[in-house]
Amino acid sequence: MKKVKIDKIVGVPKEFDVFLKGAEIFDSSCSPEARVYYIKSADGLYLKTAAKGTLQREALMTDYFHKKGLGAEVIDFKSLDNDWFLTTAVKGEDCVNEIYLSDPKRLCDTLAVTLRALHEIDFSDCPIKDRVSEYLTLAEENFETGNYDKSHFPDSFGYRSAKEAYKVLQEGKGALKNEVLIHGDYCLPNIMLDDWKFSDFIDVGNGGVGDRHIDLFWGTWTLWFNLNTNDYYNRFLDAYGRDKVDTEILKTVAAAEVFG
């Protein structure tokens, strides 16, 4: 995760001053939608800010993942002119670190086994119970507004038109179930390893109880995108466990994802 040293953070709520006082501050943002700052203190902290109303879900799910031993501790959350979200730092490096990318087979297997372990966790106390309905509603809304882009998906998931993708989505959406705790954005930058051992998940704002194939889709996608090959698609699904994989549902999820 790239870090660029800066002098100060503009607009930070006064409640966070105690954490910033005397600390070195680094900008580690990787998205135009949010700014992420690393606060170099004894154990390290991360401060994230974005438009008002956009980080409350992430704060809620980060707290839940932390209670499950799967994520950072939430120190504070404030929603003022913007949302501000402060957490502890987690150990290790994200999976786009060269340490892990240099051994793609091991990385693929680690990604798959880690995901299967997440999907085996008891989710009965999860505060977000129905990610499937939210997920399908967003796809429907984006179809209606013409938000269609398959340029970032491998050929095996490609659709020739929005109409074709929407037809697949309509025919298959009934198979999606709220069956496991999902990450919701299961990509290499959001999985932290410490010397190849799972450390924590980050960026869990799309998490909740949902269909495992949403995470499976993103697991295969991130290997294609970050390794520049689709050679690990079958290896990933094999390592996860084919007993829980339905390739037809994966195609339906792919159809939903091209609508954002």
- Active-site residues, by number, are 185
Tokens of 200: 């924590």
Which long-range CB contacts under 8 A does 41-47 form with residues at least 24 apart?
43/88, 43/89, 44/88, 44/89, 45/19, 45/75, 45/86, 45/87, 45/88, 45/89, 46/72, 46/86, 46/87, 46/88, 46/89, 47/9, 47/12, 47/16, 47/19, 47/84, 47/85, 47/86
Q: Is the dihedral of CA 124, 130, 135, 136 positive or negative?
A: positive
Q: Match 């991130």 to its residue by tokens.
A: 222
The CA distance from 159 to 182, in Å, is 25
CA of 53: how far to CAs of 84, 184, 186, in Å? 10, 19, 23
| 217 membership: H or E segment, kind and range | helix 212-227
Residue 244, phi then psi, degrees to nearest 5: -115, 10
